[in-house]
Amino acid sequence: MSGVELIPYAIKGVNGLLYLSIILAFYRLLKGPRLTDRVVALDFIATIVVGIIGLYTIETGEFYYLKVAIVLALLMFLGTVAMAFFVEKREDDL
């Protein structure tokens, strides 16, 4: 077997690990216990989704999905910055 023949198996293995990571991060999102833990878990889930989109792009060879991944990553970044600003203001009020 050459390396090219192993690529579909590697993609399926990595895809399974990414889905397992989403399940574990979703558990952390639900379990908490603090707001910052939930924010980090949500950010991690969005990062994993970007990875899944990138893996799907490699698998199908249709590169317009990368634009979706880039937009999602930018929105994720803005959401994380907004949430950090909110958490900082909330801690200042206490």
Do 94 and 46 touch, CB atoms closer than 8 A? no
pLDDT (tens digit per residue) in 11-26 = 999 999 999 999 999 9
> Is the pLDDT at 94 greater than 70, yes or no?
no
Q: What is the pLDDT of residue 5?
A: 87
In the structure, what pLDDT confidence band is assigned to residue 3 with cuts at 50, 70 and 90?
Answer: confident
Mean pLDDT of 54-82: 92
Total domains in the chain come to 1
Taking the model in full, what pTM does it have? Answer: 0.85
Range of the domain at 69: 3-93
If phi over 0 gives left and psi between -120 and 50 gives alpha, with beta otherwise, what is residue 40? alpha
Mean pLDDT of 75-93: 85
Mean pLDDT of 57-77: 92
